Structure 1
């Protein structure tokens, strides 16, 4: 259950109307935003009746001590506010409605008296020159409170408990999100006149128009910007009037994608035009659910997680429909389903790399702000990486210029991928659409890998040096039995994983070329041994953020090779790879969206065990027949899906009970 603590400030006692102070108004706003547990810290003799629990606090040091006591008394996030904050309800809700596991602080640029801070990549990294300034409202997530419990700052000579709390987050290298409501003034006020002035300023804003404009992403991709966002706000307003929430919109998007995949599976025909239309509207509703959430400020962890998982589920379903349609049209099953599997595996590896590269950048921002790893880049590659980073920032800063769109489009974003599949399938057939998509994805993977490698050398920080590394590797119980590798060195884990990826790729190639069974089996076994050998090795390397993506490639490659050797039914093999890929996407959701209902993954077995099961089933099938492997692969897909769905349901129910407590 969330709780809020309001710190003392003289401006909080300013009366903005009869018998209503700035503090009274702030308490009401916090409650309206969904937090009923509100505690007010008051200076001796300055307390007055308020609709909240009051605790007498002598000075900022005592504020910090009381704040620590209250912070660890519950299980949910902690919200910290300054009593003199005057802001719109929308601004307050922007912080309190964040149901993710992120921590953050409200910032703005319209309060010259507030402390200036530095903001980079949307993160507050510490004191700075401005113009961004603190806004007097912060969130500390439950996950980050656990990290602060043993390191809560001492009282000492504390000048400001709010800033001390923020400094404590920075001291533990915890990313602090910057909450912004540009165009809506907010300020910590000194008196009643200033409070009324701020209230008049944001009340003069057309809030409905502001929320609608803010709901549409201004940095979206080319197709979404010009083919969807130009008219989707009308759907957003209609959905809001009908009382719809974002989650049903997501389910509509899923249903439309299922319809498109079903039509594609029937084979190339004029009906493909209808399937393309269904794909387009599925993408439209996929954009609308997020826009509606921002417009109505109806956010939920489950909704953000479902949106991300639905994106990949729909896309992989479309791949399957196109593969089935190509087969129905006379294309060989190995070619049709091979293209679909290649596209799915490439996309999964790409997205995993994208997610961990974002972790690298956030880690670099936080650590370099603390001057822990501020050594200058060494070598030509690192200097080139720094120059590439500067050039990239300049291009992205030139909003909606030709170079900006080229840079955004070359990486094959989701809207453009769907456009290619729809147009390609209608115009040239499903196999051409899948082949073109796979080629584009491989080009995008090569482009991003080259640039990010150089930029990683310039960042000089290790993204995988974190306590939850094992969870994101998904090693399972087998890796815990593997002794620590005697081979040291920062490059060892990456080198072993890269060698494992190459071995897995060679196993797939050998199986596809019908080599003797012992060849793909040997290569697949080598890939597993290499990847698991460094599971317990410290990941200190600058490029170790590649490792999770490499592990995804190893498992998917080993299972694909085993399926090819055993002649497993193509739809069954694709289903197993899809379930495992989606399981990995949930891991990414925990980082990318800071929200996943899955708390424990032990029953998922881990990637080494799943790979060994596939290899064992394939070996038995070689001696008996493909039916054995097809059954085992199908059962493994059902098992992983059941474990995953069960963990999602359990986590969602647990979160609902916690919210209701």
Structure 2
């Protein structure tokens, strides 16, 4: 359960035009935003009558001690606010409604008296020249409170709010910058300032402001002009009817499944209907997030479901197109292209997620001056120039180069547009083939630039205590001796070699060989797991999770080809495993996943070796053995995944 602590500030006792003090107003806003456990710290002798628990606190050091007791007395997030904060309900809710595992602080530019801070990539990195300034409201997530348990600040030259923020920075914890541009918020110094601030944000048409800010500012080309140009009307209509985001996500899923079913029936004029269903599925996929932002109705499960549904719907479309294309007799070619597209997309998105972690880590660590060595070599300097050029292009919002850069990477809207149009015009096989070609181009384009920019960042994104969870090695990793093998200091090299061997295994299996691909698959698994217990402190180690995803998916594919596993069964197993990996990404990208334990998932090496063993068994017994084993493994992984989701969601609801 989340808790809110309001710190002493002289302006809290200021009377407002709303018949009450600034502090009374803030307490009511915190409760309206969904946090009922509110504690107010007061100085000795203060005569305050408020509808909240009160604790007498002598000074800033005492504030820190009381904060520590409150912070570790429960399991939810901790919210901090100054008693003199004057802000709109929308601004307060922007911080308190964040149900993710992120921590953050409200920032703005309205309060000239507040402390200036530096903001990079949406993260508050520490004191700075501004123009952003602290807004007097912060969130420390439960996950980050656990990291601060042994490192709680004992004292601070400033106050408790600044001390906690400094402690987050000291532990290299990313601190999100919450903004509500256009809505004034200040720590009031007197009654006139409080009244002026209230007048400023009450003069704003709040409904229009929320509707305008519900649409992503930096969305992709297709979403911007083909969906967001009219979807706010649907959002407003849905809000009036009492719609909530999660049911809309389920509607989007149902429409996509309907389109996939039509594609699977074979090329016909019905494909026009499938294309229309795809479009409206994408519309509702945008609307659920817009509605959440408009109504400020956020949930960790909703954000997680939205991310997982995006990939699940897309892979269902791939399967539908493959099934439709296979009706002309070219089953292997049709399903093979679909499998390649799914594997490419999964590997690419895993790399995308960890590259974002790399950039955030670089921002935080370089702000703390941990990485002081300047870039060395032409490649590093080229990486710096590429980064500057990229930022310049993205700063020219909605220019030709801006859209070209966003489109070449094959965003989800553009991928869906290509599939729908190409399927209607040229048939399912051309559609999925065209998509695969674009995916490979996007992967090559992004990888080349990111490798060079990594040299400039000089930061190890996988230098973190939870890397084992994101590797998903399972029980086999625990049998590997720590830092005592040949690849101890080169985990990215061993992973790259294993991925290359996997590629050869798939190639040889596609040529009709049997035992050679299986032997190569085993070698790939062993080489990939060899780096499990290494330190992962290399600047290119952010590529390891993507490499491991490629290894497992490739090993399963090779084993399936050798044993002649039914293509739909092989695709289903690969799809389930891919979604399992997307949940790992959701924990980083959305900072939200209901899955807290993955013990029963076996780990990627075990799943890969089970596929190889089933394939080998089918070669000496009956071919059906492998198909049955692959189907059982898909059901098992799906069942354990869904079970972990249910358990995690219930645990979160109780908290």
Deviation at 1:18, TM superposition (A): 7.3
What secondary structure sits across from 2:74 in the alignment? coil
Which position in structure 1 is the counterpart of 2:650? 653
- Is contact 2:489–2:534 with CA below 8 Å preserved after alignment? no
Say whether 1:215 aligns with 2:214: yes
- Is contact 1:319–1:340 with CA below 8 Å preserved after alignment? yes
Q: Summarize the alignment of residues 571-590 of structure 1 with structure 2, pairs less than 5 Å apart.
A: 571-590=568-587
Q: Describe the superposition over 1:259-295 as per-residue Cα deviations: whole angstroms up to 9, x where unpaired.
A: 0000000000010000000000000000000000000
Which position in structure 2 is the counterpart of 1:45? 45
Measured at CA, do residues 488 and 65 of structure 1 come closer, stay the same or move farther in structure 2, by a change above 3 Å? farther
Structure 1: give runs of 5+ residues left out of the alignment: none
- Is contact 1:264–1:272 with CA below 8 Å preserved after alignment? yes
Return the alpha-carbon distance in structure 1 between the equivalents of residues 619 and 158 of structure 2. 73
What secondary structure sits across from 1:27 in the alignment? helix
Return the alpha-carbon distance in structure 2 between the equivalents of residues 495 and 416 of structure 1. 34
Deviation at 1:32, TM superposition (A): 0.5
Which position in structure 2 is the counterpart of 1:629? 626
Measured at CA, do residues 489 and 258 of structure 1 come closer, stay the same or move farther in structure 2, by a change above 3 Å? closer
Say whether 1:340 aligns with 2:350: no
Measured at CA, do residues 406 and 491 of structure 1 come closer, stay the same or move farther in structure 2, by a change above 3 Å? farther
Deviation at 1:484, TM superposition (A): 3.0
What secondary structure sits across from 2:80 in the alignment? strand
What secondary structure sits across from 2:150 in the alignment? helix
- Is contact 2:487–2:530 with CA below 8 Å preserved after alignment? no
Which position in structure 2 is the counterpart of 1:61? 61
Once the two structures are overlaid, the 10-residue window that deviates more, 57-66 or 112-121, is: 57-66
Return the alpha-carbon distance in structure 2 between the equivalents of residues 630 and 518 of structure 1. 18
Q: Summarize the alignment of residues 211-250 of structure 1 with structure 2, pairs less than 5 Å apart.
A: 211-250=210-249
Which position in structure 2 is the counterpart of 1:87? 87
Q: Summarize the alignment of residues 104-143 of structure 1 with structure 2, pairs less than 5 Å apart.
A: 104-143=104-143
Q: Summarize the alignment of residues 221-300 of structure 1 with structure 2, pairs less than 5 Å apart.
A: 221-300=220-299
Which position in structure 2 is the counterpart of 1:33? 33
What secondary structure sits across from 2:594 in the alignment? coil
Say whether 1:395 aligns with 2:405: no
Aligned residues: 655
Return the alpha-carbon distance in structure 2 between the equivalents of residues 150 and 42 of structure 1. 26
Say whether 1:150 aligns with 2:147: no
- Is contact 1:501–1:554 with CA below 8 Å preserved after alignment? yes
Which position in structure 1 is the counterpart of 2:376? 378
- Is contact 1:61–1:158 with CA below 8 Å preserved after alignment? no
Return the alpha-carbon distance in structure 1 between the equivalents of residues 269 and 543 of structure 2. 43
- Is contact 1:566–1:625 with CA below 8 Å preserved after alignment? no
Which position in structure 2 is the counterpart of 1:506? 504
Measured at CA, do residues 371 and 635 of structure 1 come closer, stay the same or move farther in structure 2, by a change above 3 Å? same
Which position in structure 1 is the counterpart of 2:556? 559
Return the alpha-carbon distance in structure 1 between the equivalents of residues 253 and 166 of structure 2. 43
Say whether 1:619 aligns with 2:616: yes
Deviation at 1:160, TM superposition (A): 1.4
- Is contact 2:487–2:494 with CA below 8 Å preserved after alignment? no
- Is contact 1:15–1:22 with CA below 8 Å preserved after alignment? yes
TM-score by length of structure 2 reads: 0.99
Deviation at 1:625, TM superposition (A): 2.3
Which position in structure 2 is the counterpart of 1:463? 461
Which position in structure 2 is the counterpart of 1:569? 566
Measured at CA, do residues 490 and 91 of structure 1 come closer, stay the same or move farther in structure 2, by a change above 3 Å? farther
Which position in structure 2 is the counterpart of 1:368? 366
Deviation at 1:218, TM superposition (A): 1.3
Return the alpha-carbon distance in structure 1 between the equivalents of residues 361 and 426 of structure 2. 45
- Is contact 1:490–1:541 with CA below 8 Å preserved after alignment? no
Once the two structures are overlaid, the 10-residue window that deviates more, 245-254 or 61-70, is: 61-70
Say whether 1:643 aligns with 2:643: no
Return the alpha-carbon distance in structure 1 between the equivalents of residues 210 and 451 of structure 2. 39
Which position in structure 1 is the counterpart of 2:477? 479
Measured at CA, do residues 89 and 443 of structure 1 come closer, stay the same or move farther in structure 2, by a change above 3 Å? same
Deviation at 1:159, TM superposition (A): 2.1
Which position in structure 2 is the counterpart of 1:162? 161
Once the two structures are overlaid, the 10-residue window that deviates more, 266-275 or 483-492, is: 483-492
- Is contact 2:17–2:195 with CA below 8 Å preserved after alignment? no
Q: Describe the superposition over 1:428-470 as per-residue Cα deviations: whole angstroms up to 9, x where unpaired.
A: 1100011110011011111111100010110001000000000
Say whether 1:493 aligns with 2:491: yes
Q: Summarize the alignment of residues 432-443 of structure 1 with structure 2, pairs less than 5 Å apart.
A: 432-443=430-441
Deviation at 1:491, TM superposition (A): 5.9
Which position in structure 2 is the counterpart of 1:322? 321
Q: Describe the superposition over 1:184-228 as per-residue Cα deviations: whole angstroms up to 9, x where unpaired.
A: 000001011110100010000000000000000111000000000
Return the alpha-carbon distance in structure 2 between the equivalents of residues 518 and 361 of structure 1. 43
Deviation at 1:592, TM superposition (A): 0.3
Return the alpha-carbon distance in structure 2 between the equivalents of residues 176 and 315 of structure 1. 32
Deviation at 1:3, TM superposition (A): 0.5
RMSD: 1.0
Which position in structure 2 is the counterpart of 1:188? 187
Structure 2: give runs of 5+ residues left out of the alignment: none
Return the alpha-carbon distance in structure 2 between the equivalents of residues 215 and 578 of structure 1. 32
Deviation at 1:19, TM superposition (A): 5.4
Say whether 1:540 aligns with 2:508: no
Deviation at 1:489, TM superposition (A): 7.5
Return the alpha-carbon distance in structure 2 between the equivalents of residues 386 and 394 of structure 1. 12
Deviation at 1:61, TM superposition (A): 1.6
Return the alpha-carbon distance in structure 2 between the equivalents of residues 644 and 200 of structure 1. 51
Deviation at 1:487, TM superposition (A): 4.6
TM-score by length of structure 1 reads: 0.98
- Is contact 1:499–1:530 with CA below 8 Å preserved after alignment? yes
Q: Describe the superposition over 1:583-609 as per-residue Cα deviations: whole angstroms up to 9, x where unpaired.
A: 000000000000000010000000000
Say whether 1:600 aligns with 2:597: yes
Return the alpha-carbon distance in structure 2 between the equivalents of residues 295 and 18 of structure 1. 25
What secondary structure sits across from 1:6 in the alignment? strand
Return the alpha-carbon distance in structure 1 between the equivalents of residues 340 and 329 of structure 2. 16
Q: Describe the superposition over 1:605-660 as per-residue Cα deviations: whole angstroms up to 9, x where unpaired.
A: 000000110000000111122200000000000000000000001111111111xx
